[in-house]
Chains A and B, each alone.
Chain A
Amino acid sequence: MSGRPVNPRDPAEPGRGGRRMDAALRLLDHQLVDRDGRLCGKVDDLELERRDDGTLVVTAVLTGPGALGPRLPGVLGRATVAVWRRLHGDAEPGASRIPFERVAGIDSAVRLTMSRAEVPTYGLERWARDNVVEKLPGAGNAPE
């Protein structure tokens, strides 16, 4: 249904070597979709790690206010990061991290092998579900 791979030169099948993509154009700020097709955030940043041979590897997708905050300008950005820290409790919570091995495919969206409940930022959605939506009548009934 959504985000079917279109360009035959960019196959989404796993394991296909030699594929190239521009990170800011094709990965950053794109939709994350879980294994059941549910939307679970955006690629707010990517984590890079330097290997001993000097290569720079993409090791994780970063999502949530901890990742988006630093990319927003000035006061807004700092406020976002501050609120995230406050909510999270840890001293240095960083961003929500999805190891890059959990990425199943990339087309217009980035598809994950995990369920969205396993994405760390799902906490906010879960809170909204348990504290607001579930309290209203008819929340579980399919409108469809």
Chain B
Amino acid sequence: MRLSDLLGADVVDAAGEPVGRVTDVRLAQTGPVGAGVLAQFVVESLLVSPRHTGSLFGYERRHDQGPALLRAAVRALHRRAVMIAWDDVDEWDVEGRRVTLTRDHDRHPPEVA
């Protein structure tokens, strides 16, 4: 399975209602430490936006990143973007590019990593 299989996948809730598309995947560094080597990365949450146009270019992460007009435009386009924990994913249909969420999933506002 690849990251590119997850990016752009449709995200639906337990009832099958669309939530949006995966625009980015937040990784968290965990796991055992090796000498001279990075600790392991796991998928922690998904950034999901109802907007089909791609990236948020990082503007969802900060409240002050310039330039102002660009930030305003990107945030306006993606104003209903949410972060959903990987634990709240019930099923990932890789071939069908579809992620189904659990019944009681939480939607968080996008936040600084």
Contacts and interface: CB of A to CB of B under 8 A. Distances in A.
Contacts, number: 114
Contacts of A27: 27
Interface of B: 1-7, 23-30, 33-44, 47, 55, 57-58, 61, 86-87, 113
A50 B1 contact: yes
B25 A103 contact: no
Interface size of A as a range: 35 or more
A104 interface: yes
Interface string A32-71: 0000000000000111111000111110001000010011
Given A22-B47, A24-B23, A58-B43, 5 more contacts: A48-B1, A48-B43, A56-B1, A58-B42, A101-B37
Contact of B38 (A14, A20, A56): A14
- Which 5 A/B pairs are nearest by Cβ-Cβ distance? A15-B33, A56-B43, A46-B3, A20-B113, A19-B29
B39 A104 contact: no
Nearest to A95: B2
Contacts of A56: 1, 42-43, 86
B87 to A, nearest CB: 8
A28 interface: yes
A113 B37 contact: yes
Given A19-B29, A45-B4, A50-B1, A25 B55 contact: yes
